[in-house]
Amino acid sequence: MIKNLLLVLLGWMLLLGPAFGQVESPEGEKFSGFYPGINFDRFAHQIESSTAYRFYFDLSEVENILVNINAKDNTLSQILEVVFENSDLKFVIDGKKRVFITKGSRLDFSLGKDFFQIGEKGEQTDSLQGNDELKRAFTRNKLYVIGSPEKSNSATTATLTGKITGLETGNPVSGAVVFEKINYSRAIANEQGLYSFTLPKGRHTLFVQNLGGFVEQRQINLQGDGSLDMAIEENIISLSEVVVSSEKLTNVSRPEMGVQSLSMNTMRKLPAVLGEVDILKGLLTLPGVNTVGEASVGFNVRGGAADQNLILYNNTTIYNPAHLFGLFSAFNPDMIESVDLYKAGVPVKYGGRLSSVLNVNAKYGSKEKLKASGGIGLMTGRLTLEGPIGDKTTFIIGGRSTYSNWLFDLLEEKTDFREGRASFYDLNFNMEHRLNDKNIIRLNSYMSKDNFRFDQDTLFGYQNQNVNLSWTHYFSERLEGEFVIGQDRYKFGIEGRDNPLNAYDFGFDIQQDHLRADFVFEKDLKHTLNFGFSSIRYGLRPGYIDPFGSASIVNQEKVNSEQALETALYFGDDFEINDRISVNYGLRYVIYNSLGPNTLKTYQPGQAISESTVIGEKSYDKGEIMNTYHGPEFRISGRYNLDKFSSIKAGYNTMRQHIHLLTNSSSISPTDTWKLSDPNIRPQWGDQISLGYYRNLKANTYEFSLEVYHRSMKNLIDYRSGASLVLNNDIEQDILRTDGRAYGAEMMLKKNSGKLNGWISYTYSRSLLRTAGDETAEKINGGEYYPSNFDQPHNIVLVGNYELSKRVGAAVNANYSTGRPVTLPVAKFVYGGSERVFFSDRNAYRIPDYFRVDLSMNLEGNHKVRKLAHSSWSLGVYNVLGRKNPYSVFFTPVNGVLKGYQLSIFAQPIPFVTYNFRF
């Protein structure tokens, strides 16, 4: 590297107009390449390494220059023109491909008469179109110094405000996202184009993403509160809402792998089953995410069970993420800002589940003015209100409800379901209060309630109730802490009112109180440290049945309540070793105490746990530690950039899980219940090793990714023959400790922009179980590996959006997957004097394959900027082909003979229409 400027003072230096400093032939070597915000020194080095060009400059003169260019068949001089535009640096390239950079005036070697023509010619051939482009390109690389350091000396952070306007129109650009890539802090411009967010002081690269527009960027040095107005290319008529750019930017470059982000805009375009944007259905379009059936509550990530997903909604844990047993997701789409799913590379701050973490980020209210949005569909309606309260506080409140009961009343009198009722609602209320620059307090609350019944006598219901308070504090410019305290509750119940004699209340519930502290410390440019702790106190009532009314003769029964404390300490480091290699490693140590009061059975040591090996009972006092499980979890992932457009990543992580869903999962069961680890039930353990290749093609228009993974799991829960899960106080006697392995490959090709966009993904995945070797009670399938209930090897998803016009978009979603495995009764025989059924090997058969195509269309109202209300229609058809995809198969005796049936839920094309508005 040549670090000295060669000052060749030849005496015939001339002062020329800016930017036209080319001496070499205009047909010079062409470059393509993506230079993402690197300093000029490195840029020069990169050029030198691949070409014969040699740079001569003074390092101190170029230190404020950042090169951020996506060059495509540009000559070096074109590139440099852009880089130095409006700076007082000049350059000249001589015939020996030497590039001389000088301040103020440029070196000149020739006095050729065609000099100015060449200059003009250079301008014309510039494939970066026109002067505006040049200007924009310059502003990208200029370092803006914002705020004055004296003003707020003590603060470590500063608030940046500003206005985002359109480059052509000067109109405010609402909805533009301003963010930075280190912590992914972000702000969204409001209707006036105003944005505001707090950043640590110091150097940042800000990115501005407008819907449908390209990513703009600005270099800032934030020294204190200040403002930065930005003019960006806008696209006011196009609401062709492109995938949020953070994903685009990070797919190749972020160190973690197995992370999928979905923006609300992407999800809005997916055809929805009942016209409702549904994030869970959206997730199912991603590779590696499956479900066992259309109306199932859970989803399966990389061959893991539904209870192995941690679903977080602004710090709260959601135990049942669905309404009406899976028809709708529990999340109000208007309340959601973004969704991240970690299939691998789970950040070290999260833990407690084996398969994945789904982080649903809810919105906080607008700081500018009171706003409302909502929608009306056939079955549901929703309304969201948000706005500021005073200067420092914002709120957002959103609700959703069904009004489907009128439809039931329309049914013929004879129909069995006339007495059926189904209803749900959910409510969100979030507040954000900015105490000062250093302290932000947020309140997040959520509740949902479902009720439904098929007849007058039996009412099913469940509810989520979650509330938490978080406090974000900026200790210094580099240290940020967040403290969260909250409570999550989930409750399920059945009210049986068939007749007074056997009226009952059945139910179970979960309560968890949680406390956590998370710190992020930016040690230096290379290290970002994450550390903290979390503690969850669980309280479960796994099941009870109580008589209802004085006449009831139902016996009261109750499964012992369970308590436990799960504490985790963690430390992680994002280490950017150099431009090409970065690693992300962390350790999380989890300590789990199961607590009294409880009474547990004890079993003959060394023998299989069963009714016949009980040797006694042990009682524990309140708060007494029954036993402790503890161990480390490792999270390691690394990235190696092959070139500017592609990278490979590898990762390894381990997880532990202490709360288990007991489900027989051959179909939806409202009686699924949860169980905590205790001396008889060990925590689940799993690890995952994964490898990925990522490549962006055609200037990031296309994104390709390929990930392969292998997971091993221990102490999973499967059930013995004839297990009964309802109100079973000795559930350990029905459980078989099971090992699992899952492996697969996920391929995805995504087109991010253009009139036609979308993705196609193919997933090959296997999910296998095997009764643990030391489990002697029973060996399912002879102790061999057998497919899990959600082993669906092939899965293909196509999501396509086509912009017919600026206001009309059409979308198609096609989904194919292998039918899930089932265990079937295949034969019968008489033994011990009774007729018995012989079942196939566990999961030896499969239900027919699943295939579905949905169509939808979004119609936007006109886009006059100053219109009172914006509205849109979404309409479409779910399951256009009307294929009867079996949800489950079952056998039932008909005239004494067992007959098999397959049950389809959405067996007909289902049209839907929803009206959405915001004002």
554 makes contact with other proteins (CB under 8 A): no
Q: Count of alpha carbons within 13 Å of 219, Cβ hemisphere only?
A: 18
The binding track of 700-739 with respect to other proteins, each residue x by CB under 8 A or -, is -------------------xxxxxx-x-------------
Q: How far apart are CA 106 and CA 104, in angstroms?
A: 7
Give the range of 51-59, 162-170, 233-241, 818-826 binding other proteins by CB under 8 A: 818-826
The nearest distance, CB 499 to other proteins, in angstroms, is: 20
Identified binder of other proteins from the candidate list 25, 456, 612, 862, rule CB under 8 A? 612
369 makes contact with other proteins (CB under 8 A): no
Give the range of 124-132, 167-175, 749-757, 885-893 binding other proteins by CB under 8 A: 885-893
Token pair listed for 257: 């792998």
Give the range of 46-54, 279-287, 571-579, 892-900 binding other proteins by CB under 8 A: 892-900
C-alpha distances (whole Å) from 287 to each of 245, 258, 639, 745 are 19, 10, 21, 9
Q: Of 63 and 784, which has the nearer Cβ to other proteins?
A: 784
The helix, strand and coil proportions of the chain, stated in percent and rounded to the nearest 5, come to 10, 55, 35
Give the range of 31-39, 349-357, 382-390, 661-669 binding other proteins by CB under 8 A: 661-669
The nearest distance, CB 400 to other proteins, in angstroms, is: 16
> Per residue in 274-296, is it b (16+ CB within 10 Å) or e — as a string?
bbbbbbbbbbbbbbbbbbbbbbb
Q: Of 502 and 712, which has the nearer Cβ to other proteins?
A: 502
**Residues within window 258-287 making contact with other proteins, judged by CB under 8 A:** 274
Q: Of 390 and 606, which has the nearer Cβ to other proteins?
A: 606
559 makes contact with other proteins (CB under 8 A): no
Identified binder of other proteins from the candidate list 697, 838, 862, 867, rule CB under 8 A? 838
Grouping H, G, I as helix, E, B as strand and the rest as coil, residue 118 is: helix
459 makes contact with other proteins (CB under 8 A): no
Identified binder of other proteins from the candidate list 741, 884, 913, 917, rule CB under 8 A? 884
Q: Are 552 and 500 contacting, i.e. CB atoms less than 8 angstroms apart?
A: yes
Give the phi and the psi of residue 135 in degrees, each rounded to 5.
-65, -45
Identified binder of other proteins from the candidate list 223, 669, 712, 729, rule CB under 8 A? 669
Give the phi and the psi of residue 893 in degrees, each rounded to 5.
-75, 130
The nearest distance, CB 918 to other proteins, in angstroms, is: 27
Grouping H, G, I as helix, E, B as strand and the rest as coil, residue 623 is: coil
Q: 54: closest CA among 3, 89, 111, 15?
A: 3
**Residues within window 470-499 making contact with other proteins, judged by CB under 8 A:** none
Q: Which amino acid is at 795?
A: N
Q: Of 404 and 466, which has the nearer Cβ to other proteins?
A: 404
Q: Of 378 and 708, which has the nearer Cβ to other proteins?
A: 378
Identified binder of other proteins from the candidate list 558, 836, 863, 867, rule CB under 8 A? 836
The nearest distance, CB 410 to other proteins, in angstroms, is: 9
Identified binder of other proteins from the candidate list 217, 423, 671, 856, rule CB under 8 A? 671
179 makes contact with other proteins (CB under 8 A): no
221 makes contact with other proteins (CB under 8 A): no
The nearest distance, CB 659 to other proteins, in angstroms, is: 21
Give the range of 412-420, 524-532, 533-541, 618-626 binding other proteins by CB under 8 A: 412-420
The nearest distance, CB 719 to other proteins, in angstroms, is: 5
Looking only at Cα atoms, what is the longest distance across the chain? Answer: 115
599: number of Cβ within 10 Å: 11
664 makes contact with other proteins (CB under 8 A): yes
Q: 748: closest CA among 240, 289, 246?
A: 289
Identified binder of other proteins from the candidate list 9, 17, 524, 831, rule CB under 8 A? 831
Q: 746: closest CA among 801, 787, 803, 688?
A: 688
- Residue in the structure block whose two tokens are 């003015």: 369
The binding track of 377-406 with respect to other proteins, each residue x by CB under 8 A or -, is --x------------------------x--
Q: Of 401 and 904, which has the nearer Cβ to other proteins?
A: 904
452 makes contact with other proteins (CB under 8 A): yes
Q: Of 807 and 846, which has the nearer Cβ to other proteins?
A: 846
116 makes contact with other proteins (CB under 8 A): no
424: number of Cβ within 10 Å: 24
Helix (H) or strand (E) holding 705, with range, is: strand 702-719
- Residue 597 preceded by cis peptide, ω within 30: yes
Q: How far apart are CA 533 and CA 839, in angstroms?
A: 48
Beta bridge partners of residue 434, listed in sequence order: 440
Handedness of CA 664, 670, 674, 675 (dihedral sign): negative
Beta bridge partners of residue 800, listed in sequence order: 758, 812
890 makes contact with other proteins (CB under 8 A): yes
Give the range of 124-132, 501-509, 565-573, 825-833 binding other proteins by CB under 8 A: 825-833
27: number of Cβ within 10 Å: 8
Give the range of 50-58, 66-74, 244-252, 603-611 binding other proteins by CB under 8 A: 603-611
420 makes contact with other proteins (CB under 8 A): yes
Identified binder of other proteins from the candidate list 525, 826, 869, 881, rule CB under 8 A? 826
Give the range of 125-133, 153-161, 823-831, 861-869 binding other proteins by CB under 8 A: 823-831
Count of residues near other proteins by CB under 8 A: 84
> Per residue in 630-649, is it b (16+ CB within 10 Å) or e — as a string?
eeebebbbbbebeebbebbb
Give the range of 20-28, 58-66, 490-498, 611-619 binding other proteins by CB under 8 A: 611-619
Q: Are 776 and 607 contacting, i.e. CB atoms less than 8 angstroms apart?
A: yes
Q: How far apart are CA 355 and CA 362, in angstroms?
A: 22
Q: Is 792 exposed, middle or buried (0-12, 13-18, 19+ CB in 10 A)?
A: buried
Q: How far is CA 912 from the centre of its chain?
A: 26
The nearest distance, CB 740 to other proteins, in angstroms, is: 17
557 makes contact with other proteins (CB under 8 A): no
Q: Of 381 and 387, which has the nearer Cβ to other proteins?
A: 381
**Residues within window 768-787 making contact with other proteins, judged by CB under 8 A:** 777-778, 780-782
Grouping H, G, I as helix, E, B as strand and the rest as coil, residue 247 is: helix
Q: Of 317 and 914, which has the nearer Cβ to other proteins?
A: 914
**Residues within window 312-331 making contact with other proteins, judged by CB under 8 A:** 324-325, 327
Q: How far apart are CA 840 and CA 847, in angstroms?
A: 14
> Per residue in 869-902, is it b (16+ CB within 10 Å) or e — as a string?
ebbbbbbbbbbbeebebbbbbeeeeeeeeeeeee
Q: Of 733 and 795, which has the nearer Cβ to other proteins?
A: 733
The nearest distance, CB 775 to other proteins, in angstroms, is: 12
830 makes contact with other proteins (CB under 8 A): yes
Q: Of 388 and 848, which has the nearer Cβ to other proteins?
A: 848
Q: Of 529 and 907, which has the nearer Cβ to other proteins?
A: 907
Handedness of CA 886, 888, 894, 896 (dihedral sign): positive
DSSP secondary structure of 575-618 = EE-SSSEEEEEEEEEEEEEEESSEEEEEE-TTS--SGGGEEEEE
897 makes contact with other proteins (CB under 8 A): yes
Q: How far apart are CA 909 and CA 878, in angstroms?
A: 6
The binding track of 126-155 with respect to other proteins, each residue x by CB under 8 A or -, is ------------------------------
Identified binder of other proteins from the candidate list 910, 913, 915, 918, rule CB under 8 A? 910
Beta bridge partners of residue 544, listed in sequence order: 507, 558
Q: How far apart are CA 780 and CA 401, in angstroms?
A: 44
Q: How far apart are CA 815 and CA 828, in angstroms?
A: 37
